[in-house]
Amino acid sequence: MISLKSLAASPDVQLRNLGWDWMLGQDTLPYLANEVVLVTPAEADAYYEAANELFEMFIAAGQHVIDQNRFAELGIPANLVELIKLSWDDDRNIHLYGRFDIAGGIDGQPIKLIEFNADTATCLPETAVVQYAHLRANGFDESHQFNAVFETLTGQFEELLALNPDLQPTLLLSAMRDFPEDDANVALLGEAAREAGFEVEFDFIDSVEFSDEEGIFWQNPKNGQFEKLDFWFKLIPWEAIAEDEPELVEILTELVRKRLALILNPAYTLLFQSKYILKILWELYPDHPLLLEVDTKPLVSKVCVEKVLFGREGANVRILNTDGSERQAVDGDYGDYPKIYQEYVEFPKDSTGHSYQAGVFYAGEACGLGFRRGGLILDNGAGFVGHVVE
């Protein structure tokens, strides 16, 4: 059973004191709970160790996919394979950050990997800033939270500068237009990059100019001039770019080959984002204590979860009983993708029956914990719950 602690003071005042007023918008705060999950120091340490070990396993699985040319099995668009290899083979293309979604880890339940949001992970502002402000507003200090997300992200940006001295420290951050939640995630990344020494600009993807001969350009609204930026972070899924903008993939491949730009997260993160990598992990590490069994067909005599290779936020997920009947399902826009089947595991629950899934951020190392709360399948209606280590 999940143990919760009620924190009376809201984080609003604390966020203003931190200078993070933009976090107070209608898309970031209403779904923050006023209670937090109680986590023991040993449980926090176990989440940290598990995420670090899982990342090493993902690296090995990614190398296996490349060595064995298994891109098609993962649903990787053919036009991205070259860019994936280019970014994988050049250690200057570091993985900036991602989020492991995890079952268990609380109240004696074993930690089990659900999936890795390696390409375009969100929940950054809630995890890094809002739950920290909530903690401070109620008289706790940072030692009572597994949360160094902002500092670790800043360190990742510093590492990028150190590894890429031939590039200018100019960063353009882009998201899709009309998605305020994405804007908040991008804004937090911009703050971390600025702290690390980058000059930072924001623009929506439809306004960015790309040239395979010159680089990536942003139009400065102050003077109308196009300015080149050498680093580009996109909160747009790689598979969406590959499917919807194949010409852009060709340009980006040339930009990376010619060292005209460095793209974050690198294209190889799509290997980790594909749910098929969960099957590869089970092949490479059968019965590993952090993994659940995964196959391309429903598991015999086991309750399992049907997932599409590139689904997001619980869309197109079905829980299937041992006889193949449907226990629960969520519709979505990703139903045309191939499917995998993962052994079902119960999430920890509170006294009201809500399920809790841990999210552990990874940015060069595991760096922060938060929880999403909802029903049997956690979809885009799930809430965010912070934590206190006691």
Condensed to tens digits (0 to 9), the pLDDT of residues 206-225 reads 999 999 999 999 999 999 99
Residue 362 above 90 pLDDT?
Answer: yes
Sequence-distant (≥ 6) Cβ neighbours of residue 35 within 8 angstroms: 4, 5, 6, 7, 385
Rounded mean pLDDT, 100-108: 95
Q: Token pair 């029956």 is at which residue?
A: 353
Rounded mean pLDDT, 40-44: 97
CA-based nearest residue to 342, from 310, 390, 296: 296
Residue ranges of alpha helices (H) inside the chain are 12-18, 41-67, 81-89, 124-125, 131-137, 149-163, 180-196, 238-244, 246-257, 269-273, 276-284
pTM: 0.94
How much of the chain is in helix, strand and coil states, percent to nearest 5?
35, 25, 40
**What is the band of 30 on the pLDDT scale with cuts at 50, 70, 90?**
very low
- Cβ(216)–Cβ(232) below 8 Å: yes
Q: Give the model's pLDDT for residue 228.
A: 97
Provide the mean pLDDT of the chain. 92
Q: What CA–CA distance (Å, rounded) separates 358 from 110?
A: 12
239: exposed, middle or buried (Cβ count in 10 Å: 0-12, 13-18, 19+): buried
349 versus 29: which is more confidently predicted? 349
Q: What CA–CA distance (Å, rounded) separates 3 from 221?
A: 50
143 versus 376: which is more confidently predicted? 143
Task: Say how many C-beta atoms besides its own lie within 10 A of residue 27's C-beta.
Answer: 14
SS3 370: strand
Please give the backbone phi and psi of residue 193, each rounded to the nearest 5 degrees, phi first.
Answer: -65, -40
Helices 41-67/276-284 angle, 10° precision:
90
Calculate the CA 22 to chain-centre distance: 21
Q: What CA–CA distance (Å, rounded) separates 86 from 60?
A: 17
- Cβ(194)–Cβ(231) below 8 Å: no
Candidate from 79-93, 290-304, 330-344 with smallest mean pLDDT: 330-344
Rounded mean pLDDT, 97-109: 96
CA-based nearest residue to 362, from 158, 126, 62, 100: 100
Q: What CA–CA distance (Å, rounded) separates 253 from 255?
A: 5
CA-based nearest residue to 149, from 387, 370, 380, 378: 370
Q: Which long-range contacts (CB under 8 A, 24 or more apart) does 179-182 make?
A: 180/25, 180/27, 181/27, 181/28, 181/122, 182/122, 182/235
Residue 384 above 90 pLDDT?
Answer: no
Residue 65 above 50 pLDDT?
Answer: yes
What DSSP character marks residue 127? I
What DSSP character marks residue 309? T
Task: Say how many C-beta atoms besides its own lie within 10 A of residue 226's C-beta.
Answer: 12
Q: What CA–CA distance (Å, rounded) separates 36 from 106?
A: 13
Sequence-distant (≥ 6) Cβ neighbours of residue 226 within 8 angstroms: 209, 217, 218, 219, 220
Q: Give the model's pLDDT for residue 329.
A: 82
Q: What CA–CA distance (Å, rounded) separates 125 from 159?
A: 22
261: exposed, middle or buried (Cβ count in 10 Å: 0-12, 13-18, 19+): buried
Sequence-distant (≥ 6) Cβ neighbours of residue 93 within 8 angstroms: 87, 256, 262, 263, 266, 268
What DSSP character marks residue 222? T
